[in-house]
Structure 1
Amino acid sequence: MTGTKIQFIRGLHNLRPEYKGCVATIGSFDGVHKGHRAILRQLKDKAAQYGLPSVAIIFEPQPQEFFSGEQAPARLMRLREKIEALLEAGVDRILCLQFNRLLRSLSAQQFIDQVLLQGLGIRCLVVGDDFCFGHDRSGNYRLLQDVGSVKGFEVIDTETLEYNGERISSTRVREALDQGDFQLASDLLGHPYRISGRVVYGQRLGRQLGIPTANVQLNRYRAPLSGVYVVEVFSGPDCMPGVANVGVRPTVGDLVKPVLEIHLLDFDGSLYGRRIEVEFKYKVRDERKFDSLDKMVEEIHNDIAVARQYFADHSIDAGKT
């Protein structure tokens, strides 16, 4: 809707009366891949027809994380990245609901009444016909249509987008990343896969070993990647080649949650405190435990040599900034 102020709303309690009246969709939107973007185009088109703002309803944590904890599928993106991607796709507002025992306990009818009607005053809902919601997933597409016909809101099915004969999904993206197939991941996402975050201080072990790294906390139990990769790092206008490790550093044995560590080739500056984006280009090897730090350092130098050769083969200046 032209002229609508973009807003991020955290929690049902922060909804104001002026927010009522919208066209909404509901989902995890992990990765905001091409399939998601097709749904968001539908959402925008419907919002334009109604002359109302478009709203994406998401959950934090994601429902699978609430129920399965550490066993939940690895996130493709953090909340901040998801918000940025949804807004970039043209969503006017994002309502982020905390998925907790209270929300889980709502019946399907209570969710419709409290969130969709009283909270948002929806005029149209764009969801898949396999969408389930409410306590014990008792609500479904048919219930939404039935209630909508009485309460005066439209319910339409989402488009399904396929690639090579299979539906595009976050699961397919995770599988592609796990297999090191970055071209397939890019084809499904619509852009190369990146992880972003702020560079923080680590234990400075890399610097002590003569291989300084920029560290980014992933703030999750599992990452969609694990191992050593050739990467490009973006910070503002700068693009810097490097080699990265995603994992728990089994040789040192000091991590429970994975961290992203990047060694930049021919770079002697500091990135501390800067927000960076790391684009994954090629998988060098799996993360593994070494018998000694000396053997680990030797292997890291081999990794760096592989990265230099990759950039040489792809006509990328390994010293550019």
Structure 2
Amino acid sequence: MKPTPSIYRHLPRHDTRRPSAVTIGNFDGVHLGHRAILSCLRAAAAEHSLCPTVMTFSPHPRAFFARRAQRPELIPTQISSLRDKVALLAGEGIEQIALVRFNQAFAELSPETFISRLLVDGLNTRWLLVGEDFRFGNKRAGDIALLRQAGERYGFSVQTIADVTDSHERRISSTDVRTALAVGELERARALLGAPFRISGHVIHGRKLGRTIGFPTLNLRVPDPCAARSGIYVVRVHGLADEPLAGVASLGVRPTVADGGALLLETHLLDRSLDAYGKLASVEFLRYLRDEEKFPDLPTLTAAIASDVRGARDYFAIHGL
């Protein structure tokens, strides 16, 4: 396991002046396109003895502008929680994450202030990697030419990278991942991400209804708004035992037992019972089984869950863990 990166919510950094190799983006999902960028960053950092660093934002800039315009339907769904994003970035060898708060003051930063405050004073940037169409600063006034001019003045080089495409020459993007997850196309999402989609979190207490009907569950909070389609899934659970555990999970608001409930991931482990409250679990989504439904009564709900469990057993009988 790679060490957890240092996370800075305020710049300049308080504990180091180590020079950095930096890339900037939202990195939601850390898909194969992101991984190609991070691989390039990591190689440059090693070559120049720099600290591989990602600057990312919370909330997503599109979410900020959508809320400001009172257009909640334009808020992008989240592929990864912050915890999962950090873990994925750590897995790619990133040692520093600058988690910048995207608010009105940040949106109004001039391009020159963005460069001097964040890149130069904030991270001691010596090498910068951005997309060919990268824009920044108030009203997106900053561009690559301005970055290169600033680099000559402050002593950092600027590299650009073209869009990363799949085997069919289609651009790999977080939007593509969101689209696949929204319709339950887990194989497509996996091909874009390079790994199964997953949600991680600490197991929390729920209503404990599952244990009364013979299907106890592990409950996890999920990113809001979550990119994955609500419904029933075959899943694999990591972190609670030495080996992965087979399960079936419900992602949704539990319409049969709660009105207006919060979105929750409830996972029933197959042939395994354990006390997991407070433990960190990672749930990988393997197959979409069906939509979430509101049943007329608990016996009908129980029968549906039993059918879902049979579907999960059939999956693991064919594919294994």
1:282 to 274, 282, 287: 287
In structure 1, the partner of 2:10 is: 11
Q: Tell me which amino acid in the other structure corresponds to 2:200.
A: S
In structure 2, the partner of 1:88 is: 91
Q: Pairwise mapping of residues 117-196 of structure 1 onto structure 2 (< 5 A)?
A: 117-163=120-166, 164-196=168-200
Q: Tell me which amino acid in the other structure corresponds to 2:31.
A: H
Shift in alpha-carbon separation, 1:257–1:40, aligned structure 2, 3 A: same
1:209 to 190, 213, 225: 213
Q: Tell me which amino acid in the other structure corresponds to 1:290.
A: F
Give the CA deviation at 1:77. Answer: 0.9
2:228 to 185, 205, 224: 224
Q: Pairwise mapping of residues 214-293 of structure 1 onto structure 2 (< 5 A)?
A: 214-234=218-238, 235-293=240-298
CA–CA separation in structure 1 for the residues paired with 2:277 and 2:15? 42
Give the CA deviation at 1:17. Answer: 7.2
CA–CA separation in structure 2 for the residues paired with 1:209 and 1:29? 40
Q: Tell me which amino acid in the other structure corresponds to 1:263.
A: H
1:75 to 75, 78, 82: 78
Give the CA deviation at 1:74. Answer: 1.6
Give the CA deviation at 1:128. Answer: 0.5
- The secondary structure found in structure 2 opposite 1:238 is coil
Shift in alpha-carbon separation, 1:145–1:203, aligned structure 2, 3 A: same
- The secondary structure found in structure 2 opposite 1:210 is coil
**Structure 1 stretch displaced more, 78-87 or 40-49:** 40-49
Give the CA deviation at 1:145. Answer: 2.0
Shift in alpha-carbon separation, 1:219–1:32, aligned structure 2, 3 A: closer
TM-score using structure 1 length: 0.90
**Structure 1 stretch displaced more, 145-154 or 187-196:** 145-154
In structure 2, the partner of 1:104 is: 107
Give the CA deviation at 1:296. Answer: 2.0
Contact 2:132–2:144 (8 Å) recurs in 1: yes
Give the CA deviation at 1:213. Answer: 0.9
Contact 1:126–1:157 (8 Å) recurs in 2: yes
2:42 to 44, 66, 90: 44
Give the CA deviation at 1:252. Answer: 2.4
Give the CA deviation at 1:310. Answer: 1.7
Contact 2:78–2:225 (8 Å) recurs in 1: no
Give the CA deviation at 1:178. Answer: 2.4
CA–CA separation in structure 1 for the residues paired with 2:293 and 2:44? 50
Q: After superposition, what is the alpha-carbon deviation per residue over 1:246-301, rounded to whole angstroms, capped at 9, x for unaligned?
A: 11112223445311001111223222121111111111101122233332222222
1:62 to 37, 60, 70: 60
Contact 2:203–2:276 (8 Å) recurs in 1: yes
Shift in alpha-carbon separation, 1:283–1:88, aligned structure 2, 3 A: same
In structure 2, the partner of 1:295 is: 300
CA–CA separation in structure 2 for the residues paired with 1:214 and 1:49? 45
Shift in alpha-carbon separation, 1:289–1:154, aligned structure 2, 3 A: same
Contact 1:25–1:127 (8 Å) recurs in 2: yes
RMSD of the TM alignment (CA)? 2.1
- The secondary structure found in structure 2 opposite 1:113 is helix
CA–CA separation in structure 2 for the residues paired with 1:298 and 1:17? 57
Shift in alpha-carbon separation, 1:188–1:223, aligned structure 2, 3 A: closer
Contact 2:182–2:227 (8 Å) recurs in 1: no
Where structure 1 has 5 or more consecutive residues not aligned to the other structure, the ranges are 317-321
In structure 2, the partner of 1:319 is: none
Give the CA deviation at 1:212. Answer: 1.1
Give the CA deviation at 1:41. Answer: 1.3
TM-score using structure 2 length: 0.90
Q: Tell me which amino acid in the other structure corresponds to 2:141.
A: S
Give the CA deviation at 1:315. Answer: 4.5
- The secondary structure found in structure 2 opposite 1:221 is coil
Shift in alpha-carbon separation, 1:283–1:17, aligned structure 2, 3 A: closer
Where structure 2 has 5 or more consecutive residues not aligned to the other structure, the ranges are none
CA–CA separation in structure 2 for the residues paired with 1:281 and 1:6? 28
CA–CA separation in structure 2 for the residues paired with 1:109 and 1:43? 23
CA–CA separation in structure 1 for the residues paired with 2:242 and 2:80? 22
